[in-house]
Amino acid sequence: MPIINQLATSLGRRDEVPNQILAKKIAEGNDQAAVAELVGIVKGKDKNLQSDAIKTLYEVGYLKPSLIAGEVDLFIALLKGKNNRLVWGAMTAFDDIAGVNPTGVHAHLPLILSVADVGSVITRDHAVGILVKLSQTEQYRAECFPLLLEQMQRCPDNQFPSYAEGAASAVTSTHKAEFLELLKSWLPELPKESQQKRIEKVLKKLSK
């Protein structure tokens, strides 16, 4: 069955389950041809099918990032567009592939961060995820971890714990003191006890 016929919209569905099932099938089958079909659908005109296709692509990327790692040009084009669903879908895809194609993602970091600055919460979350993965890469750590700290310094209260947990996986001795100081400065400012406990857990882990 053609890929387009397996998307939620084609099946008359309004939920994402068909797209998730298709993504799993593509990932398990290492089906690069199916990825190419999805790319073609994203480039089409039907917004519902575009939405299904980008969802399926980034679900494939979550399961097997190497399958979509070569589609950087597509995701960049989507980031420059005005369809918010495609924008945050592309950012999600970049988050998926940053660990396996850091050079391809890093090449477009200024655009990624500028889009994140004006984008939705989901868009910003995945931009931070990208910075975390790039910071885990020795080649880009010195540049990207300070950028990650900048994002943390001006993020909403409810995002800070998750950003801190992600950054903790990438921190090294070079930035450890600065990172710990940032966590300690935010700790009394967080309005919820659950948020404070998450930060305390990170502090405890890094203090061992």
Extract the tokens encoding 55: 């969802």
In a domain, 40, yes or no: yes
Average pLDDT on 132-159 reads 96
pLDDT at residue 165 is higher than 80: yes
Of all residues in the chain, what percent carry a pLDDT higher than 90? 98
Average pLDDT on 154-168 reads 96
Average pLDDT on 180-196 reads 96
Of the candidates 22, 53, 20, the one whose C-alpha atom is nearest the C-alpha of residue 39 is: 53
pLDDT at residue 208 is higher than 90: no
3-state secondary structure of 1: coil
In a domain, 51, yes or no: yes
Range of the domain at 60: 1-68
pLDDT digits (tens, 9 = 90+) for 84-124: 999 999 999 999 999 999 999 999 999 999 999 999 999 99
Q: Which residues contact 144 (CB under 8 A, 6 or more apart)?
A: 106, 109, 131, 134, 135, 137
Q: Which residues contact 68 (CB under 8 A, 6 or more apart)?
A: 35, 57, 58, 60, 61, 93, 96, 97
Average pLDDT on 164-168 reads 97
pLDDT at residue 7 is higher than 90: yes
In a domain, 86, yes or no: no
pLDDT at residue 188 is higher than 80: yes
- If one counts the domains in the chain, the total is 1
In a domain, 80, yes or no: no
In a domain, 55, yes or no: yes
Q: pTM for the whole thing?
A: 0.95
How high is the pLDDT of residue 10?
Answer: 97
Average pLDDT on 141-163 reads 96
The mean pLDDT value of the chain amounts to 96
Q: Degrees (nearest 5) of the Cα angle 117, 120, 124?
A: 55
In a domain, 202, yes or no: no
pLDDT band at 1 (very low <50, low <70, confident <90, very high): confident
In a domain, 18, yes or no: yes
How high is the pLDDT of residue 57?
Answer: 98
pLDDT digits (tens, 9 = 90+) for 25-78: 999 999 999 999 999 999 999 999 999 999 999 999 999 999 999 999 999 999
Extract the tokens encoding 1: 């069955």
Q: How far apart are CA 187 and CA 115, in angstroms?
A: 28
**72 close to 108: Cβ distance less than 8 angstroms:** yes
